[in-house]
A and B are shown apart, each in its own frame.
Chain A
Amino acid sequence: MSNRLINWFKFASPHAFYPLAGKMIPVFWTLAALFGAAGLWLSFFVAPTDATQGEGYRIIFIHVPTSWMSMFIYMVMAGWAAMGLSLNARLSSMMAQALAPTGALMAFLSLWTGAFWGKPMWGTWWVWDARLTSELILFFLYLGFMSLQASIDDPRRADKAGAIVALVGVVNVPIIYFSVKWWNTLHQGASVSINKSPSMAMTMLWGMLLMALCLWMYSIAVALTRVRAIILEREAHTEWVKHLSEVKP
C-alpha cells in the first residue's frame, strides 16, 4: 500500500524538482494553447455584441482574466513565501521568486487593458478610484517584492525579507476584491460572484472563464520555466547541477 503512494516531499528538493518541472512545462503550454484558442474563439466569434457598449466590451475577455490572475498569483506567491519562511524550504522561496514577475505582468496588463476600456466608456484613461488605486498598489507590491529580493546579496536573507513584504501585502487583495462594494466607485461591480448568478450571457461568461484558464496554465508554464533558471542560478555550486546532461560537456 505505502509503496503506491508518491513521496511528495521528495520533490521539495530543487534537485528532484528540476527535471520534474521540465517534464510538466510542455503539458501546461498545450493546455494554455487549447484554452486560449477556445477562449478567443468565443470572445470574438460567438459572444454577441453588447447592447450598451457595442464591440468595445470585448476587452472584458482579457481585462477580467488578467485582473483575476494578478490577485490569484499574489496569493499563491505569498503562500509559497510563507512556506519558505516557516519551513525554511529553499524551493518554496524560489517558487515565490519565480511567480513575482508574472504576477507583476498580470497586474500591469490589468491596468493597461482597464485604461483602454475606461477611455471609450468613462472618457478617461485613469481615475483615482478605489478599485484602480488598489490594483496599482498591488502592482507596486510586486515591484517592491522583486526589488527588495534583488537588493539583498545573500539569497536566503533575501527570501526572508521578501516573504515579510509578500505576507504584509496580502491584506491588499481583499481590498481590491471588495473595493467596488465598500466604496462608491466608477468601476462596475463584480460580473461574476460566488453568491449570485452571473449578470451576463452564458457565452460571455464561458469566454471569460476559458481565457482565465488559459492565463492560469500560461502562468504555471512560465513560472516553472523561470524556477528552473532560478534553481540553476542558485544551486550552481552543487554537484548535481554539474552532472546535468545539459551542463556536462
Chain B
Amino acid sequence: MIWNSAADFFAMGGYALYVWGSFGVCALAFLAEPFLINRRHKEIVRTLRRQVAAEKLEMEPK
C-alpha cells in the first residue's frame, strides 16, 4: 500500500492543491455537463408537450 493513512492520502505528498485542484474540477465538470444536458432535454420535451396539448385544444369542436 502506498498510503499510511487517509490524511496521508489527502496530503498527496505536499501536492494536495495541484492534484485535487485538477481532479476536483474535472469531477465537477463531469457532473455538471450531464446535469445541464438532461435539463435541456427535459425543457424541449416540456415545450413540445405544451404545443401538442394546445393543438389538441384547437382541434376540439366548440
Chain A residues close to B by CB (< 8 Å): 44-45, 48-49, 54-56, 58-59, 62-63, 66, 101-102, 105, 108-109, 112-113, 116-117, 119-120, 218, 221-222, 225-226, 228-229, 232-233, 236, 241-242, 244, 246-249
Contacts and interface: CB of A to CB of B under 8 A. Distances in A.
A102 B44 CA distance: 20
Contacts of B52: 242, 247-249
A109 B29 contact: yes
Given A54-B13, A236-B48, A247-B45, A59 B18 contact: yes
Judged by DSSP, the binding face of A is helix
A63 B44 contact: no
B46 to A, nearest CB: 9
Given A66-B26, A249-B49, A120 B15 contact: yes
B7 to A, nearest CB: 13
Contact of A247 (B9, B25, B48): B48
Given A222-B33, A242-B52, A247-B45, A54 B26 contact: no
